[in-house]
Amino acid sequence: MIKILSLAVLAVFLAAGGAFAAEAARVFEEDRFETSAGEVTITFIGHGTLMFSFGGRVLHVDPYSKIADYSALPKADAVLITHEHQDHLDREALKHIVTDETDIVLNGKSAEILGRGRALKNGESTELLGVKVEAVPAYNLVHKRDNGQPFHPKGEHNGYVLNFGDTRIYVAGDTENIPEMKDLKDIRIAFLPMNLPFTMTPEMAADGALSFRPKILYPYHFGQSDTGKLVELLKDSGIEVRIRKMGR
């Protein structure tokens, strides 16, 4: 059974004091899910940034300092990084939450830049805090730079499927509606980006979702894109579209 907690303050993580008080003024949305491995809380930090809390542990995904004060957020037991672009691999955010014990899983170029972490290629998997993590493709087919090169080249960047017991959560990273999405199986929760011109239009995100049919779809990293259009496109699909504050 899924429990929803929206517009919840991260009071459990925040304490009194200068930076903490400033960040306490922020309101983060959270949704809570019951899984066969226990309760998982997803905190929607913004942009392409998420935080998963489960079993007393914290997993940060693509932490980005321009959208949150990471000195006021909990230390990371683990970090997932999808690719090396600055709004996904941000040293400023990482310096506040990464400790010597933090386990980092990332793509190859990010590992080279950071000089630490466990690099996964598309198709590889590992265990992270007891959670099976599968690295899946994330790339552009349509949207390209002025020089004709894709913003996200095939084979270089990762999306991830996280397995919390029987609950499979797909965090797509920066990608378009690529053919490999149809190979995704039994996805309960999916995060698909709509940050133009780098990723998908609402139409592309709808097409991608329909290719693997998650139970719940969150558009994220959507900039100024019209999330209402995605809701309309999928209104009769049986996919529940949830909109959270992920546009910054």
**Is 247 inside any structural domain?**
no
Residue 60, domain CATH: 3.60.15.10
**Is 246 inside any structural domain?**
no
pLDDT category at 145 given cuts 50, 70, 90 is confident
**Dihedral-angle region of residue 238 (phi above 0 means left; psi in -120 to 50 means alpha; beta otherwise):** left
**Is 110 inside any structural domain?**
yes
**Is 142 inside any structural domain?**
yes
Instruction: Tell me which residue range forms the domain holding 82.
Output: 2-241
**Is 77 inside any structural domain?**
yes
Tell me what percent of the residues of the chain surpass a pLDDT of 70: 87
Q: What's the pLDDT tens digit per position in 12-23?
A: 343 333 433 344
**Is 69 inside any structural domain?**
yes
Of residues 214 and 87, more confidence is placed in 214
**pLDDT higher than threshold 90 for residue 35:** yes
Confidence at residue 143, expressed as pLDDT on a 0 to 100 scale: 66
Going by C-alpha positions, the residue among 79, 22, 74 that lies closest to residue 49 is 79
CA dist., res. 5 & res. 29, Å (int): 8
Span 62-78, average pLDDT: 95
**Is 186 inside any structural domain?**
yes
User: What's the predicted TM-score (pTM) here?
Assistant: 0.88
Confidence at residue 86, expressed as pLDDT on a 0 to 100 scale: 85
238 is written with which tokens?
Answer: 């049986």
Q: What's the pLDDT tens digit per position in 162-196?
A: 999 999 999 999 999 999 999 999 999 999 999 87
Q: What's the pLDDT tens digit per position in 87-144?
A: 889 999 999 999 999 999 999 999 999 999 999 999 999 999 999 999 999 998 876 6
CA dist., res. 55 & res. 243, Å (int): 26
**Is 248 inside any structural domain?**
no
Provide the 10 A C-beta neighbour count for residue 185: 8
Question: What domain count does the chain have?
Answer: 1
